Structure 1
């Protein structure tokens, strides 16, 4: 039976946030960033398994292990996000057509309705796709000196988010290919695109920011508070 597996890379240090602990463990309202992220997926009936991938020496994760007995915590974090995801795929028992959803731990505002739409719209897709939002700002392309070269048509621009959902064998093939060709990627979709595969976009209808800087934590708190 085909499964839906969630992988949450949790091995980053969040250097841009400039906090004493990794941003996924920071308090946010009455929980932590990672708590909010986990609880969205735990409450989705279509999700079969959840894996959090952390560093081997991560001491903060012990608290979560005790509080989330139905979540799998693996100390397989790599130097990069890509390596972390690849390590997880090698470890988890998967069939070729199982779905793998990779989600940023720091996207704690992910709404269950967006995830459900991703699952529904891609269920018969051969490759997979990502959650993304339409660009709303006017976008400018600039040269090396910071001068505007042209205005980009924002109607064809989407901002990539997570989850990013792919058939397990497709995602692994993409990651392997990029490693062999020394291609630098910033998300899973980039790896699959490198294979020449067409990746679908499912529009996100709810705020799903990634916490990167301190002000983002305040923004996330306001979003989550409005949903309570």
Structure 2
């Protein structure tokens, strides 16, 4: 099955204390976005890349893609005010030849080829509408009420922390986003929108190295890993 890759890259660098948006910070000679792209370029079934970014970085993103992806078809799309709107904009240019759509955070540059392939293989099965990468929670989760009092402690072995990629059958993801737009539904990730329309989504266990660069400590760790490589 062929798949299109959507990478939302319109986030800011505010939490990192940087003026440059996170995907465009340079580590070991390449932007974080370029490092992330290269993880997917090793997958034979990739047939299209769509990066969603802000107005100010449309040209830079195009230049990064030209330098990294060779002849593989790509699009650079203007993002929206929220991630969900950005992904919706990307869906408008998804190739008709794609069977699956993968959505992956621009600032998760350490996802492994094995993890991507495992998620693709699971999402290709007829028994589901898609699959997402996640890791078991190592911490106890607490649910609180409006007064910040603990109302419930879920079983830890039932709690998983969602990562990306999140991969779905093309028709299902498009239907989920269409439903969300028509009904004013906001999801915290793509899977939550698919779940909202009754979709069946499987978990593929990933690893903690597939972390999202969000805070200064994350950036320091990423610099250490990429510098060694």
- What TM-score does the superposition give when structure 2 sets the normalisation length? 0.89
Provide the rounded CA distance (Å) in 2 between the counterparts of 1:225 and 1:112.
20
**Residue 102 (structure 2) aligns with:** 101
CA deviation vs aligned residue, 1:134-159 (integer Å, no higher than 9, x gap): 11112222233333333221100111
2:207 to 205, 208, 220: 205
Distance (whole Å) between structure 2 residues aligned to residue 157 and residue 49 of structure 1? 33
Asked whether the equivalents of residues 8 and 104 of structure 1 are also in contact (C-alpha less than 8 Å), the reply is: yes
More deviation in 151-160 or 13-22? Answer: 13-22
How many angstroms does 1:55 deviate by? 2.5
Deviation at 1:163, TM superposition (A): 0.5
- 1:82 aligns to what SS in structure 2? helix
Query: For residue 142 of structure 2, what is the aligned residue in structure 1?
Result: 140
Q: When the two structures are aligned, how many residues end up with a matched partner?
A: 225
Q: Counterparts of 1:80-91 in structure 2 under 5 Å?
A: 80-91=82-93
* 2:9 aligned with 1:7: no
Residues 161-180 of structure 1: CA distance to partner in whole angstroms, max 9, x if unpaired? 10000011110110111111
Q: Which residue of 1 aligns with 2:63?
A: 63
- Could you tell me the TM-score, scaled by structure 1's length? 0.89
Within the candidate set 165, 168, 192, 2:167 is matched to 165
Find the counterpart in structure 2 of residue 121 from structure 1.
122
Q: CA deviation at 1:46?
A: 2.5
Secondary structure, counterpart of 1:75 in structure 2: strand
Report if aligned partners of 2:84, 2:186 keep a CA contact under 8 Å in 1.
no
Cα distance in 2 between the residues matched to 1:139 and 1:37:
30
Residues 28 and 217 in structure 1, CA contact (< 8 A), matched pair in contact too: no
> Given the superposition, is the C-alpha separation of residues 145 and 137 from structure 1 closer, same or farther in structure 2, using an over 3 Å criterion?
same
